[in-house]
Structure 1
Amino acid sequence: MFEMETRKNILDRLKQYYTETAGDKVNIIEGGFVWDTLSANAKEFEKAYAEMALIIEASFPQTSWGDWLTKKAEEHGIIRQEATNSSVILTITGQAGVAVSEGALFSTNDGKNFITVETKKIESTGT
Structure 2
Amino acid sequence: MDCLFCKILNKEIPADVIYEDDQVIAFNDINPQAPTHVLVIPRKHIATTNEIADEDTALVGHMVQVAGKIAKEQGFDESGYRTVFNCNDHGGQTVHHIHLHLLGGKPLGWPPYFDENLKKPLS
TM range (shorter): under 0.3
State the TM-score, normalizing by the size of structure 1: 0.24
Specify which structure has the higher proportion of strand: 2
State the TM-score, normalizing by the size of structure 2: 0.25
